[in-house]
Structure 1
Amino acid sequence: MKLWSVVVSKIEQVTGQTFGLQKVEAMQGGDINRVYRLQGSTQSYFVKLNKASLLAMFEVEALGLHDLASTHTLRTPKPICSGIVGEDAFLVLEYVALQSLSSRSQQQLGEQLAQLHQVQQSYFGWHHDNYIGSNLQKNTRENDWVHFWQEQRLAVQLELAAQNGYAGKLQTLGAELYGLVPQFFSVTKPKRLYCMEIYGQVMQQQMNRGRQLFMILLATMVIERLI
């Protein structure tokens, strides 16, 4: 199949290593992407597919994973490469063998998430717009949290809802909420924190050497959160 031969070629080009593809295994997970495991003799990769017009969604997901990794708090799969083959866009990630959460790993996840939420930055926003599912999400940097949340989170969602036929009471209540946000934050002051909201599946990896536990964030959406 041309798709997989092109993906394998890109993997080999980026890694500088030969990858002998032996098996393509369809996997479950995610609502909008088709996901696969590419298995070789000594290495495997995790691949997401979607329509070619959504390549930017995959590219910004890779950026989010890089930024998460740079905090040195939570283990994330390493992005390998992305591109387009015919009508498909693809994202190749490090494949991580997963196990069920234990009580210890759940505790560790909580500790590492707390560490992540202590990483600060000097503004609200991010250096790149990203996506909620396949919908574009604006992240223009601002110094004022209230205005940022009103315009780049709430107002955008209300507009999207209106475009999809949700008007009337939803828009009325949304406008009311928009107006109440400054009042709420007049007594609650948010910190400028560099945080990640996580969607998808969070599992643990049991490493062979040293049996060290790592929490794995399989998919990420980088946003700003009030702590």
Structure 2
Amino acid sequence: MKQKLARILCETGDSSPVTDVRRVSGGDISEAYRVETFEGTYFVKYNENVPGDFFQKEAEGLRLLKETGALRVPDVYGYSRGRSPAQGFIVLEWIEGRTSRHTEEQLGRGLASLHSSHHDCYGLEADNYIGRLPQPNGWFNDWVDFFREKRLGAQVQLAEERGALPPSRRDKLDRLLASLERWLPRYGQPSLLHGDLWSGNWIAGPEGEPYLIDPAVFYGEREFELAFTELFGGFSPRFYEAYNEVSPLSGSYEERKPLYQLYYLLVHLTLFGETYGPSVDRVLAYYVG
């Protein structure tokens, strides 16, 4: 593996000898390494079993986030490209630090700033990924249409293909998809979203400053992002206080929160199986009985 990583770094511009390689935690999708050379220290993710454009989409998402200046992201030094399955990789800046008492406050304020980056339409020009699942995009003028077709509807199709939707569950999902207008208001401008913001997709830098990683970006409604941060926990009250100090949420947000969390529950149902089925069913019972 050391030789393989040396070749990867050479492709991205560092041809100096590799002096240290350490396997690190990098999620459940790819192998991850801390690689040190005479010229620098890098975070390298490697995967032989992902689509050829998998890491290209990650790099493009990080670029969009970085361009806003709202929150830091690791620098991208290189990545594999292409549409066919390949030995995929991405080489990132190595970030190492620890949280301070101000880190989550900075994260909350920074996320509110990110959400002030707007677009005229919902979605994104190209498809990308949510975890290792495809995430279709495209441009839509209406949030309800986008959410129905490209988020809930797309995940319903994937879940059914994997046998995760018994008839009763599928029937309730169809009824919910047909009645989304009942629950979702007309919003303002679409906001740039990280798209996969759980507690494992941000890290602290050397001074305790927050960095965003592993995005699934698109332009959507900011409530969708906040709802996911609450689904599995891991964010302190100060994070939400700081966010609301900059950009207060609507008092009716709680009514829509489970609906937005349903998307991520369907993602987990597809990826990890029936463990998440009861949570999906509870959301459906709330909205369609």
* TM-score under structure 2 length normalisation: 0.69
Higher-strand-fraction structure: 1
Separation (CA, whole Å) in 1 of partners of 2:68 and 2:204:
18
Change over 3 Å in CA distance of 1:91–1:69 after alignment to 2: same
Is the aligned partner of 1:107 residue 2:128?
no
Tell me the SS of whatever aligns to 1:62: helix
Tell me the SS of whatever aligns to 2:179: helix
Tell me the SS of whatever aligns to 2:122: coil
The aligned residue for residue 142 of structure 2 is 144
The aligned residue for residue 165 of structure 1 is 163
- Could you tell me which amino acid in structure 2 is paired with residue 224 of structure 1? Y
Is contact 1:54–1:134 with CA below 8 Å preserved after alignment?
Answer: no
Is the aligned partner of 1:216 residue 2:211?
yes
Is contact 2:32–2:45 with CA below 8 Å preserved after alignment?
Answer: yes
1:24 offset after TM fit, Å?
Answer: 1.0
Tell me the SS of whatever aligns to 1:220: coil
Deviates more, 1:87-96 or 1:113-122: 87-96
The aligned residue for residue 17 of structure 2 is 20
Tell me the SS of whatever aligns to 2:217: strand
Separation (CA, whole Å) in 2 of partners of 1:184 and 1:226:
14
Deviates more, 1:61-70 or 1:171-180: 171-180
Separation (CA, whole Å) in 2 of partners of 1:192 and 1:83:
30
- Could you tell me which amino acid in structure 1 is paired with residue 55 of structure 2? F
- Note the alpha carbon deviations across 1:53-94, whole angstroms, 9 max, x for none: 42311100000000100000000001111128x962111111
Separation (CA, whole Å) in 2 of partners of 1:5 and 1:204:
27
The aligned residue for residue 80 of structure 1 is 77
- Could you tell me which amino acid in structure 1 is paired with residue 10 of structure 2? S
Change over 3 Å in CA distance of 1:53–1:195 after alignment to 2: closer
The aligned residue for residue 210 of structure 1 is none
Matched length? 215
Where does 1:163-202 land on structure 2 (aligned, <5 Å)? 163-167=161-165, 168-185=167-184, 187-197=185-195, 198-199=197-198, 200-202=200-202
Higher-helix-fraction structure: 2
The aligned residue for residue 237 of structure 2 is none
Separation (CA, whole Å) in 1 of partners of 2:104 and 2:21:
31
Is contact 1:55–1:90 with CA below 8 Å preserved after alignment?
Answer: no
1:183 offset after TM fit, Å?
Answer: 1.9
- Note the alpha carbon deviations across 1:12-58, whole angstroms, 9 max, x for none: 2xxxx543310111001311111001112351010111125423111
Q: In the alignment, which of 94, 105, 119 is matched to residue 121 of structure 1?
A: 119
* TM-score under structure 1 length normalisation: 0.87
Is contact 1:137–1:152 with CA below 8 Å preserved after alignment?
Answer: yes
Separation (CA, whole Å) in 2 of partners of 1:169 and 1:24:
50
Q: Could you tell me the percent identity over the aligned residues? A: 27
- Could you tell me which amino acid in structure 2 is paired with residue 192 of structure 1? P
The aligned residue for residue 95 of structure 2 is 96
- Could you tell me which amino acid in structure 1 is paired with residue 219 of structure 2? E
Gaps of 5+ in 2: 223-289
Is the aligned partner of 1:31 residue 2:32?
no
Change over 3 Å in CA distance of 1:129–1:112 after alignment to 2: same
